[in-house]
Amino acid sequence: MIPLPTAEILRHFLCPACGASRLAAGEGTIECAECRRTYPVRQGVIDFVLYDRLGATEHGEIRAMTIPPDDTARACRLVEKDTWDRIQTHFLLRGIRVAAGFLAAYPPGRTVLATVGSGAGFELRMLGRFRPLTTVLASDISWSAAALVPESVSTAEGALGLFACDVNLCPLRRDARLILFVFEALHHTDDVHATIDRLLATTCDHLVFVEPTRNWLVSLLARFGLTMRVEYSGLKPDWVDLGRVRAIARRRGFEMRAVTWWPFPDSLVPGFVKRSRLLSALLCAAVDTISALTAPFRFGAMSAVHLWRSDSSRV
């Protein structure tokens, strides 16, 4: 993907500190003409993170996702996430396929796809298998992770802009053409449902996300430490409750669609199964069958959700 010109990128943003729209490019910085706050541009990434307003959870996320310049091995591992494990890749791709189906309602040439919490861009590359990437604004809370996105999507066509932000202080300007896509990042916040509510209230008319999902069985398994475990950042997350999301959507005037399925926890897969292509395929097929049986009841540990404002067009 080719870099978007800075002027084209800035038209999609408001100052996260004061909400003003008068942002201008300086020498290696972006400045708000209203509050005079400046935001550094690091390796092509506009760093909109308000570090002085972050809590312990957000600082933990930044520490966990910061890639030292000399740590090429870790950078390559993040970019090549699909080579880690064929079983986990199978379930990741399931979420990507469902999300791509939701996004098919929007003509790529007439919309802007924005992501938050996209890490090094692995999910964007996978999404490009199912949907053309034309104009993309990609971000992570760690600017050093976002700086790896161009490598992840290097073979895709289209234009790419990079920024860093906290999802709860998202600087994106609400725009009918803007589609916000979030892949397994919302549950890294202190309150996943408050984050969804804030995004619908202030940021987007169209939101597609893929997230771990809570139900009575997941909550039971969590008591035995099998689900909802402490994340790499140190946060013990809550997961999305589809009933609560539906209530938020109604209150904010949004329509909602959801698809659920079951993954298989990586920690429970024996090593000999991972090493066998046949056994891995059989395990994935068995779990997919269970997902097909429970999907009509919206009962699963993962979900893809599409939210759109009731008075807006999806095309």
Residue 287 lies in a domain: yes
pLDDT of residue 315: 45
231 lies in which domain range? 2-309
Secondary structure (H, E, C), 113-174: EEECCCCCCHHHHHHCCCCCCCEEEEEECCHHHHCCHHHHCCCCCCEEEEEECCHHHCCECC
86-103 vs 277-294: helix axis angle to the nearest 10? 40
Longest distance between any two alpha carbons in the chain, whole Å: 61
Report if residue 219 sits inside a domain: yes
Q: Give the pLDDT of residue 17.
A: 95
Say if 299 falls within a structural domain. Answer: yes
Q: What's 113's domain CATH number? A: 3.40.50.150
303 domain-assigned: yes
What pTM, to 2 d.p., does this model score? 0.92
pLDDT values of the chain reduced to their tens digit, one per residue, 315 residues: 999 999 999 999 999 999 999 999 988 999 999 999 999 999 999 999 999 999 988 998 898 888 887 777 777 777 776 666 888 889 999 999 999 999 999 988 889 999 999 988 989 999 999 999 999 999 999 999 999 999 999 999 999 999 999 999 999 999 989 999 999 999 889 899 999 999 999 999 999 999 999 999 888 887 877 776 666 556 667 899 999 999 999 999 999 999 999 998 877 888 899 889 999 999 999 999 999 999 999 999 999 999 999 886 554
Rounded Cα distance, 123 and 111, in Å? 19
Classify residue 315: in a domain, yes or no. Answer: no
Q: Identify the residue whose tokens are 């809590």.
A: 55
Q: Is residue 314 part of a domain?
A: no
Instruction: Determine the pLDDT at residue 219.
Output: 85
Residue 137 lies inside a defined structural domain of this protein: yes
Q: Which residues pair with 85 in a beta bridge?
A: none
Q: How many domains does the chain have?
A: 1
b (16+ CB within 10 A) / e for 7-37: eebbebbbbbbeeeeebeeeeeebbbeeeeb
